[in-house]
Amino acid sequence: MKVTLTVLTGPRAGEDRVFEGPATVEVGRSPDCALVLPADQAGVSRRHALIEIDPPTARVRDLGSTNGTWINQTHLGGRGIGPTDFVALAHDDRVGIGETVLLMTLEAPEGVARPVRCGCGVIRDSPRARPGGYLCGECDATVRDTPADEAVRAAATGDDGVFEGYRLVRTLGAGGMGKVYLAVETQTGEQVALKVLAPQVAVDEKSRKDFLREMGIAGALAHPNLVARRGQGSAGQAFWFAMEYCPGGNLVDLMERRGGPLAPDEAVDLIVQALDGLAFMHAGGFVHRDLKPQNILLTQDDGGVPKLADFGLAKSFEQAGLTGLTVTGSVRGTPHFTPREQVTNYKYVKPVSDVWSMGATLYYLLSGDVPRGATAEGNPMLRALTVEALPLRARAPRVPARLADVVDLALATDPAARFQNAEALQRALRAVR
């Protein structure tokens, strides 16, 4: 599977960019953009648009440019509108940025969905795709459920075989990687958290096996500060994972119970413990990629032991070519807790990127806000690209200065200026307790 980005018109006409894996392409006049357009080209802003590529799919958003971005005959953004949401791209779509027009060509093997547009302009699966995609009402009166909905409905009607021995009890919520249910293991009666993921595109047998194999490797990691994996499998087009149930919820839930930011001693103690699990992951060659308060779970309502959740999912998505999976948020991390290099070059991500995300998590626990601010007019993706982290004591002046210095260093924009791994950040935090 691959996506080709061809420059049809403009100063860089004739250039091709071929992507066979996930990539983020920022387009604009700024010299650090992935696709730099000439500074004198009319109608182009410094940071104009962002194209996300997950072969065989792609999508684009305008980053608040002055003149907006075109998809065929549709205009996105522009003066006074601000950054837009992502819009899916289909095969043969043209993206216009000033004088530059980019052609998107999406290729996939037979049997794998390739997004195309119906006569109404609505994106749908290619006719080559196996059943399960969405069509607009004028093209197909029957809109099918997602594979996850089908699997959950089958389990709810008594088919225990759908999740191979787990019975659903109730919905716990939707996280960054999918829907989570409280379930019971039918043989032991033990409560587990069961996460269900559904792909937007058809999944061939090789991709299925690759994904489950990679997840099996990540699931084999055993550490007191990592959520334990109980089982995994697939049901139709859906994937499921049974995990240790943590009744204390996550760190955001704990802050709500406390009525606001945590005391420095409690916040640092929780993060130092969580860093044990992250250091174990880094030593094993894994990078989490989606660290945030919601992905640190607790064994008890009053805190208990913090455990990292959702580790390995993002890496396995990429390696198995399943980054088109439907998620709440993005598989590339949550922008408020994502370092800049992870936005501009997802393949770059290394342990030092997890350090920024863990620093942002501690910043949130201590201040109740995110490092770059969560203003109503500020698109979080754009802020990740353009806004520096505000020093912690500017938002939480009662935080001890030595602790604030450690957090601020963990949030340095330049990866080389940060603590390079979880162990280094942990040592620094222990020294200022």
Omega before 56 within 30 of 0, i.e. cis: yes
Residue 354 appears among annotated catalytic residues: no
Peptide bond before residue 127 is cis, with ω within 30 degrees of 0:
no
Q: Using alpha carbons, select from 57, 2, 62, 34 the residue that is nearest to residue 341.
A: 34
- Contacts of residues 249-254 at CB distance under 8 Å and 24 or more positions apart, as own/partner, are 249/297, 249/298, 249/301, 250/293, 250/294, 250/295, 250/296, 250/297, 250/298, 250/309, 251/293, 251/294, 251/296, 251/298, 251/306, 251/361, 251/365, 252/293, 252/294, 253/298, 254/298, 254/303
Tell me how far apart the terminal alpha carbons of the chain are, to the nearest angstrom: 50
- Indicate if the alpha-carbon torsion angle 377, 378, 381, 382 is positive or negative: positive
Q: Report DSSP state, residue 250.
A: B
The crossing angle, in degrees rounded to 10, of helices 401-410 and 422-431 is 170
From 276, 290, 354, 408, active-site residue: 290
What is the chain's alpha carbon radius of gyration, rounded to the nearest angstrom?
22
How far apart (Å, rounded) are the C-alpha atoms in residues 371 and 11? 38
Q: Considering all CA atoms of the chain, what is the largest pairwise distance in Å, rounded to the nearest integer?
A: 69
Distance CA 249, CA 55 (A): 35
Tokens of 327: 């998620």
428: phi > 0 → left, psi -120 to 50 → alpha, else beta; which?
alpha
Cα separation, 212 vs 164, in Å, equals 15
Nearest CA among 84, 80, 52, 78 for reference residue 65: 78
CB 70 within 8 A of CB 76: yes
Question: Which sequence positions are flagged as catalytic?
Answer: 290
